[in-house]
Amino acid sequence: MLLNNALQHSHELMARALKPGDRALDATAGNGKDTLHLARLIGSTGEVVAVDIQKQALDNTQNLLKKENLINQVQLIEGNHAQIDKLTSGSFQVAVFNLGYLPGGDHEIITEPESTLRALKKVMPMIRPGGLITLVAYHGHPGGKNELTALEKFLPSLDQKKVAVLQYSFINQAGDPPVLFALEVLEGADYLDP
Amino acid sequence: MLLNNALQHSHELMARALKPGDRALDATAGNGKDTLHLARLIGSTGEVVAVDIQKQALDNTQNLLKKENLINQVQLIEGNHAQIDKLTSGSFQVAVFNLGYLPGGDHEIITEPESTLRALKKVMPMIRPGGLITLVAYHGHPGGKNELTALEKFLPSLDQKKVAVLQYSFINQAGDPPVLFALEVLEGADYLDP
């Protein structure tokens, strides 16, 4: 395919935003695919902080990163990303959210609009100017539409002098393909305090 | 900026879709910036067909392409792109629409929703499988919103087995930033006959 899907485009943007030695946050470790991509980009001198509320997700992520010999540059944290300020500190060049349920896990456990927005608002001030937040919203499951709607309502309200918000989506496809939102914290802007 | 604007992303997609020797259509030559980009990509063995309804636009395009020594691989056609089937023939790898008014020209002369859709429907069957159509809609002028609405209504109706339709837009910006629609005609699909 010529056109990247939402996940591929998010990975391309991460690659553009990160260099070796940077610090990145995976706010939804899931099965570790984003963590792996981030770990490759920041290299052995950087750090990825990977958070998930489900132990199974962190186990899967740990196994994947060990297999790829990249676990040394990854810190795994079990906890609720809506309390990210209590789980980690410092600043990040990139933060990543993958919204929905854990593939292969319990489909009843999903990210919820309120905690997603709370997490996002806490992550925003942690991102360095010039940095990036990606959110890929899988909205085909029950509750997924609510989360997408909450993002579509909140994100346009962000100050364009501080952040640029891109929406990237396929508009003629059945099966609710994921939607990408990419937030670039502008150079010269202060840290974001929504 | 990390994130490309709509025009930059359209140019990146054209670069991904075209190789030397290909044939491309600029359905709205304007001041020739897209024609120039296409002419560089298809090289001296390819051909760009550049159409515009305004003589001033074609003069500007001709001057730009002459200055850049790329006019030999460009065919300029004065005419209405809604009658594209009477102006040119054969197939194209890429077709490009820039919707709005001619920058620096008469702002009363704008692309209109009906003729834009008519042109698009005539161009679609001319695109080879694996090829691309980009539409960048400048909708800040009177009438621009109608054209955007017409596209947002028409494009989701296209058969996903034949074409993938991407919408790429910034959602927190005043001043109506342009919206990109990118249509990839899928490999294995027949030529499109909407």
Classify A47 as helix, strand or coil.
strand
CA closest to B152 among chain A residues = A171
User: For the residues A140-154, what does the mean pLDDT come to?
Assistant: 92
Dist. CA B149–CA B77, nearest whole Å: 28
Question: Contacts of residue A186 in chain B, CB cutoff 8 Å?
Answer: 1
User: For the residues A35-62, what does the mean pLDDT come to?
Assistant: 97
User: For the residues A32-57, what does the mean pLDDT come to?
Assistant: 97
Residue type, A182: A
Q: What is the pLDDT of residue B52?
A: 96
Scan residues 11-40 of A and list those with Cβ closer than 8 Å to B: 13, 16-17
- CA A171 distance to own-chain centroid: 22
Dist. CA B150–CA B57, nearest whole Å: 25
Question: Contacts of residue B156 in chain A, CB cutoff 8 Å?
Answer: 171-172
Instruction: Give B53's DSSP letter.
Output: S
Band the pLDDT of A187: cuts 50, 70, 90. Answer: confident
Tokens 């990390």: give the residue: B2
Tokens 């990543």: give the residue: A96
Dist. CA B141–CA A69, nearest whole Å: 55
A181 exposure class (CB count in 10 Å sphere: 0-12, 13-18, 19+): buried
When the pLDDT of each residue in chain B is averaged and rounded to a whole number, the result is 94
pLDDT in tens, B38-50: 999 999 999 999 9
Q: Quick one: which of A98, A93, A127 has its CA closest to A18?
A: A93
Q: What is the pLDDT of residue B143?
A: 84
Q: Which phi-psi region, left, alpha or beta, contains residue A43 (left: φ > 0; alpha: ψ -120 to 50)?
A: left
Q: Tokens for A49, please give them.
A: 């902080």
CA dihedral B32, B33, B36, B38 (to 10 degrees): -110
pLDDT in tens, chain B (194 residues): 899 999 999 999 999 999 999 999 999 999 999 999 999 999 999 999 999 999 999 999 999 999 999 999 999 999 999 999 999 999 999 999 999 888 888 888 888 889 999 999 999 999 999 999 999 999 888 888 999 999 999 999 999 999 999 999 999 999 899 999 999 999 766 666 65
- Domains along chain B? 6-185 (3.40.50.150)
CA closest to B18 among chain A residues = A2
Neighbour count for residue A121 (Cβ, 10 Å): 15
Answer whether B170 sits within 8 Å of A170, measured CB to CB.
Answer: no
- Of A52-61, A70-79, B134-143, least confident by mean pLDDT is B134-143
Dist. CA A175–CA A84, nearest whole Å: 32
- CA B19 distance to own-chain centroid: 17
Non-local (6+) Cβ contacts of A157 within 8 A are B172
Q: How are the residues of chain A apportioned to helix, strand and coil, as percentages rounded to the nearest 5?
A: 40, 25, 35
Asked whether residue A137 carries a pLDDT value surpassing 70, the answer given is: yes
User: For the residues A31-52, what does the mean pLDDT come to?
Assistant: 98
Scan residues 113-142 of A and list those with Cβ closer than 8 Å to B: 130, 132
A92 exposure class (CB count in 10 Å sphere: 0-12, 13-18, 19+): buried
Asked whether residue A163 carries a pLDDT value surpassing 90, the answer given is: yes
pLDDT in tens, B123-160: 999 999 999 999 999 988 888 899 999 999 999 999 99
